[in-house]
Chain A
């Protein structure tokens, strides 16, 4: 697929919407609000954002929420419920489900594994390290959920063909 070029001036305004999600990923970011930040129509926003950043805005927001939740699970003693609400989920159930769908493990399991693994590699500055570990959601979460064998700890996993 050929890459279509985009107006740098538009991209700069789309970046502003992305920055706003980065700064407050726990907040609700309906397309209407994002489009207002970028000063474009809603239809134009959704299409242009995906073209510019490679994924739809709501999915980008999801990666930031997962990134932040992962950091809080690892670096704090906050209760998982507390982390769910702080990172923008409406319920513990939807947080746990989505987190598992995206990362392949539950928030509790992730916390235990990260703690058992010990300390952070100190070679990468923390803010950049956090970004580097952001989930790479090139496909929709629903699609990821349907993938066979994903997240199953057992012999079936070896049959997974991607």
Chain B
């Protein structure tokens, strides 16, 4: 594939914390982690999705001014960012594994609508749905 979506970014409150979460707890790997002054370009990848990078960005100057950055941090912390969905083969197994690893689940696996889904948040407040793929 040569065309398509390459990077989609999230705002996080702390890039080190987010890196530890997405890599150690969710099993993602680091794709790019480079700095230019205070700016840090950090992206991670799902192990089965090499063509897509999830950016973990910290809002702040010079990309956005300090007032805007504060607003963005508030929006993330109150869980008001748009939905994120992670698809897994077995939702209950993934839940058990992630819950044991200390992931903050906001909804245990529930069966319904022909699938099983659960919900969790990253440390910053970004909310994920964990949905079992339909065979």
A residues near B (Cβ < 8 Å) are 5-6, 8-9, 11-12, 14-16, 18-19, 22-23, 52-53, 126-128
Contact B71 A12 (CB under 8 A): no
Interface membership of B133, Cβ < 8 A: no
Using A15-B78, A23-B106 as known contacts, say yes or no to A8 and B13 having CB atoms under 8 A apart.
yes
Contact B113 A126 (CB under 8 A): yes
Contact B77 A127 (CB under 8 A): no
Contact A128 B125 (CB under 8 A): no
Q: For residue A6, which residue of chain B has the nearest CB?
A: B74
Q: Which residues of B contact A8 (CB under 8 A)?
A: 13, 70, 73-74, 76-77
A22 to B105, CA, bound (A): 12
Contact B107 A23 (CB under 8 A): yes
Interface membership of B102, Cβ < 8 A: no
Main secondary structure of the interface of B (DSSP, over half): mixed
Contact A19 B79 (CB under 8 A): yes
State how many residues of chain B have any CB contact under 8 Å with chain A: 21
Contact B74 A15 (CB under 8 A): no
A150 to B81, CA, bound (A): 34
Q: Which residues of B contact A52 (CB under 8 A)?
A: 78
- Which residues of B from 108 to 125 have beta carbons under 8 Å from A? 108, 112-113, 117, 121, 124-125
A12 to B14, CA, bound (A): 13
Q: Which residues of A contact B25 (CB under 8 A)?
A: none
Q: How far is the CB of A63 from chain B (nearest CB, A)?
A: 15
Contact B83 A22 (CB under 8 A): no
Partner of A5, one of B13, B70, B76, B112: B70
Contact A15 B77 (CB under 8 A): yes
- Which residues of B from 42 to 88 have beta carbons under 8 Å from A? 70-71, 73-74, 76-79, 83
A16 to B120, CA, bound (A): 11
Q: How far is the CB of A122 from chain B (nearest CB, A)?
A: 10
Q: For residue B112, which residue of chain A has the nearest CB?
A: A126
Partner of B125, one of A5, A6, A15, A127: A15
A19 to B4, CA, bound (A): 34
Q: What would be 22 A-B contacts, judged by CB atoms less than 8 Å apart?
A: A5-B71, A5-B74, A6-B74, A8-B13, A8-B70, A8-B73, A8-B74, A8-B76, A11-B77, A11-B78, A11-B125, A12-B78, A12-B124, A12-B125, A14-B78, A15-B79, A15-B125, A19-B79, A22-B107, A23-B106, A126-B113, A128-B83
Q: Which residues of A contact B74 (CB under 8 A)?
A: 5-6, 8, 11
A8 to B78, CA, bound (A): 8
Apart from A5-B70, A9-B77, A15-B78, 8 more pairs, CB < 8 Å: A5-B71, A8-B77, A11-B77, A15-B79, A19-B79, A22-B107, A23-B106, A52-B78
- Specify which of A6, A23, A127 lies most central, judged by the most chain B CB atoms within 10 Å of its CB: A127
